[in-house]
Structure 1
Amino acid sequence: MVRFRLTPRDGAFFDLLAKTAVEVVRGTEILTRMLGSDRTQRLELAEQLRAAENAADETTHEFLRRLNQTFVTPFDRDDLYHLASSLDDCMDDIEEAGDLIVLYDIGTLPPGVDKQVSVLSRCAELTAEAMPRLASLDGLRDYWVEINGLENQADRAYRHLLADLFRDEPDPISVIKLKGVIDALESAADSFEHLANGIETIALKES
């Protein structure tokens, strides 16, 4: 069945979201490389991650400027703001995790951290694939279902990491440092889910 919409679809909004999502993918790729790098390499990678976060910020600001200047928007104005801010949160959390690894001068990360980062990488890929489809809202259900499943995986990895950390790490300062990184990664997974939930809400409103 063909669906007719009276609200115009301004492609610039979706292009900007897609552009931001590309930087989020870049951020997860850099974060993945940080896990297997030494301290010196991590300094350079942290700069690259910061550059990706700055690029995402610039695109988000451009999105918000356009949103404030546009009288008729493709979706509800609050929904569009939620999409942009949630996507920005994903990037901010990823950058925070990488920054803490460097600032805390962490050597070896717990084995479970790679599971967290792997989940974030998949979330970023799915998100980047989904953004261009917002214009039509077609074929998005699989996206938010898989994101929700990935967030559940991230929750389980987070709980196991904390349990192992509190049981096996004797140094309380190390516990605090590692928990900061683990918490930032968990927050990123939550941000991806918030974004997916927002897209699901829009799809239901517009159906």
Structure 2
Amino acid sequence: MKLSLFPQDTKSLELLAQTAAELMAGVKTLSEILGAPADDYDKLSEELHDRDSNVSRLLFALLTNLRTSFVNPLPREDMFQLSLHLVNTFEHLDAAAELIALNRVKRLSTRASEQLEVIGRMSEMTREAMPRLNSLEDLDEYCIEMIRLAKRAERTHRVWVSELLSDHKGATLARHRDVADQLVAATKTLRQASHHVGQILVKES
């Protein structure tokens, strides 16, 4: 357990957890898009844009807190980097929704739902892990499970792309693959967040 002689400001960890919670909400909205008629795409995509604005506000709040707090549970650069990984993840979710809306992508493969299930689980685990950075307890399993989930997402992506190449051509192929690429990119940035947590464990323990 990490010990501290001084009381620490854990607001930054709360903000990181809130950002991960926004990811979970974003996954829910994106899942709704997959089952929605094309006429609802724009409205649901706009919901993702609004949440992206919330994520940006959380990043600004984190930066303000890091600058003004006296004692932080972790080095400021570590918390800022974790926040960037989460922000980048949401950008990929937002981009996937926008691509579906702009290109009126219909009948997405069930692989999309599989990827969103993985992203949702990774986001949930990250939300639960952020407060534990104050003590650095029980984070090893988080890092290992995140790697396992990311590998699962990579395999799903490879299968999805292979199926697309068999079933689609030209512009339709490109539109579907763009969405697939954004979703797997979201799992990669979440994996980067867990890698950074692992680096913190090694450095701070």
What TM-score range do you get, normalising by the shorter chain? over 0.9
Unaligned runs of 5+ in 1: none
- Alignment correspondent of 2:199: 201
- TM-score normalised to structure 2 length: 0.93
With over 3 angstroms needed to count, the CA separation of the structure-2 counterparts of 1:8 and 1:79, relative to structure 1, is farther
Post-superposition shift, 1:186? 0.8
Contact 2:8–2:71 (CA under 8 A) maintained in structure 1? no
Asked whether the equivalents of residues 39 and 107 of structure 1 are also in contact (C-alpha less than 8 Å), the reply is yes
Matched residue, 1:4: 3
Alpha-carbon RMSD across the aligned residues, in angstroms, is 1.6
Q: CA deviation at 1:48?
A: 1.4
| Distance in structure 1 (CA, Å) of the matches to 2:56 and 2:6 | 28
In the alignment, is the contact (CA less than 8 A) between 1:18 and 1:128 conserved in 2? yes
Corresponding residue for residue 95 of structure 2: 96
Question: Does residue 178 in structure 1 map to residue 176 in structure 2?
Answer: yes
- Superposed, 1:1-207 pairs within 5 Å as 3-5=2-4, 9-70=8-69, 72-170=71-169, 172-207=170-205
State the shift of 1:41 in Å.
Answer: 2.1
Letter in 2 for 1:65: T
Q: Residue 103 of structure 1 aligns to a residue in which SS? A: helix
TM-score, normalised on structure 1? 0.92
Report the CA distance shift for 1:7/1:200 in structure 2 as closer, same or farther (over 3 A): farther
1:176: Cα distance to partner? Answer: 1.2
Given the superposition, is the C-alpha separation of residues 143 and 177 from structure 1 closer, same or farther in structure 2, using an over 3 Å criterion?
same
| Contact 2:147/2:191 (<8 A) preserved | yes
Unaligned runs of 5+ in 2: none
Amino acid paired to 2:112: V
Q: Find the aligned partners of 2:194 and 2:65 in 1 and give their Cα distance.
A: 22
CA deviation vs aligned residue, 1:109-140 (integer Å, no higher than 9, x gap): 12211111111111111111112212222111
8 Å contact from structure 2 (residues 74, 134) kept in 1? no
List structure 1 segments (4+ residues) > 4 angstroms apart after TM superposition. none
Count of residues in correspondence between the two structures = 205
In 2 relative to 1, CA 140–115 (structure 1 residues): closer, same or farther, beyond 3 Å? same
Q: How far, CA to CA, are the matches of 1:122 and 1:31 in structure 2?
A: 14
Report how far residue 83 of structure 1 moved: 0.6
State the alpha-carbon separation in 1 of the partners of residues 69 and 111 from structure 2. 45
